[in-house]
Amino acid sequence: MSLVSFREYERIPVVERLASPAERKLSVAEIDALDALAARLKIPLIEHLSRSRVRPAQYVGAVFVAGRTIELLPKIERTEGECELPTVRQNLLKMLLVACDLDGATPGQAALEHSDDGWLDILLRLFARALADQLRRGLIRRYRAEADDLPAVRGRLQIEEQLRRNLVHRERSACEFDEFDEDHALNQLFRVAIRRMLRVASNTVTQQALRELLPAFEGVSDVEPTGDWLARVTLDRIDERFGLCLGMARLFLQGTTTGLYAGGRSSFALLFDMNDLFEKFVARTLRRQLRGSGLELSIQDVRFHLVRDPQTEQRLFRLRPDIVVRHREAVCCVVDTKWKRLSPEERKLGIAQGDLYQVLAYAEGYASSAVLLLYPWDPTGGAHESVRKRLVFEGGRRSTVTIGEVALDELAAVGERLEDLLRRAAMLEEVSL
């Protein structure tokens, strides 16, 4: 399977036919397929700039169309013009795993950082390795309720069913009994994940690693997973060691936002909204960084509303900021993330007016004197400045809005960068916590 990679907002030529599968262009047939996918999933996937140029929007991931795997990668690099695809893939994968609380899958992956494989193959290999490690300790077996006609009584005899079905077949007994085997929901989920991963794995090493897992699940039934069914698969203390594997399998089967759509190799997509991914990555990274600091962090806090109806006292329009940081139960900063690029050359930095209205509502609703509006750093905007500008709202609390940027080229340093930015935004640099 041929792999071609494009960057977020990269201008891509459109041609009638590709000269080769490796050509970094999109054919008209591929554009039609991507447009159909976008309509089906109701997401902005490709922007049409002209009849001969398109560019990816804010969704990243992998799509299989017309015999090629199209890899859509975020714009994350150290300097303007620098583009090391293996590093970008590794950073995307790490962000995804951290955002989904699956970062236990990433230790010691130095061998993957210089891989030329697509990020999807790397994810599949991480899953295969994690599941193989657990299978060496044995497959989980469970009791499950069964009912069947048996030649001898086993468990409990179902009197009504015996009279209804076997009145003239006395050699059969309608029984209800417990079966102790490996055919339960968790293993069924792993089996369907492995089989679907095999359809889209492009690397022979990845395919082999997945095939080696299948014999362990020979006695497990094939199922057609639905979103509700996936959500109902849970762990207990006996099988909690499979938690990382379950998380990665779910990530593959349903994705973060749009997931996998039905079909075989000719219809596959695993796509993630960078707005959502950036928000979750920042929140979970900052939460880990602030442990033991005296600061408490809430993600997607929903304690307050924007207005209330004085006649009914009903509160309306729930506020839901990305991050709320408290010190000794008092809100010291509200953080809102935006996966957009600032425009330092503009007087207003390219900030959308609606975004400021939104954080003003957060500041008033949460009685916070400090708000941090956080963007990813873009090297085209010049040197990295964690604080781009401070603004003060007119009227009301006169809260301060800090316009901040965080560089994502070195993910290991992001936690410290976020904490420093938060302390500067909330004026906590000299406060002993």
Q: Strand locations in 81-213, DSSP E?
A: 142-150, 156-157, 173-181
Short-list 292, 302, 227, 275, CA closest to 95 = 275
Quick one: pLDDT at residue 261?
44
Dump the DSSP string for 204-267: HHHHHHHHTTGGGGTTSPP----HHHHHH----TTTGGGHHHHHHHHHHHH-SSS-PPSSSTTS
Sign of CA dihedral 40, 42, 43, 48: positive
* Amino acid 100: pLDDT: 87
The pLDDT value recorded for residue 83 is 60
pLDDT at 254: 74
Helix runs in 290-401, H state only = 353-365
The answer to whether the beta carbons of residues 333 and 390 sit under 8 Å apart is no
State the residue for tokens 């203390």. 237
CA angle 89, 90, 91 (to 5 degrees): 90
CB of 306 closer than 8 Å to CB of 365? yes
Cβ 249 vs Cβ 189: under 8 Å: yes
Beta strand 295-299 with 46-48 is unpaired
- Residue 68, classed as helix, strand or coil, is strand
State the pLDDT at residue 216.
94
Predicted confidence (pLDDT) per residue in 224-279, tens digit: 888 788 888 888 888 889 999 999 998 888 753 334 444 444 567 888 999 999 99
Q: Which amino acid is at 205?
A: V
- Nearest Cα to Cα of residue 87 among 122, 126, 63, 57: 122
pLDDT at position 363 is: 93
**What is the per-residue burial (b if ≥16 Cβ within 10 Å, else e) of 90-103?**
bbbbbbbbbbbebb
Tokens describing residue 127: 């899953």
Cβ count near 257 (within 10 Å): 15
Sites in the chain below the pLDDT cut of 50: 82, 107-111, 113-114, 256-265, 430-433
Contact 306, 319 (CB under 8 A): yes
**Beta strand 12-15 pairing with 26-27:** parallel
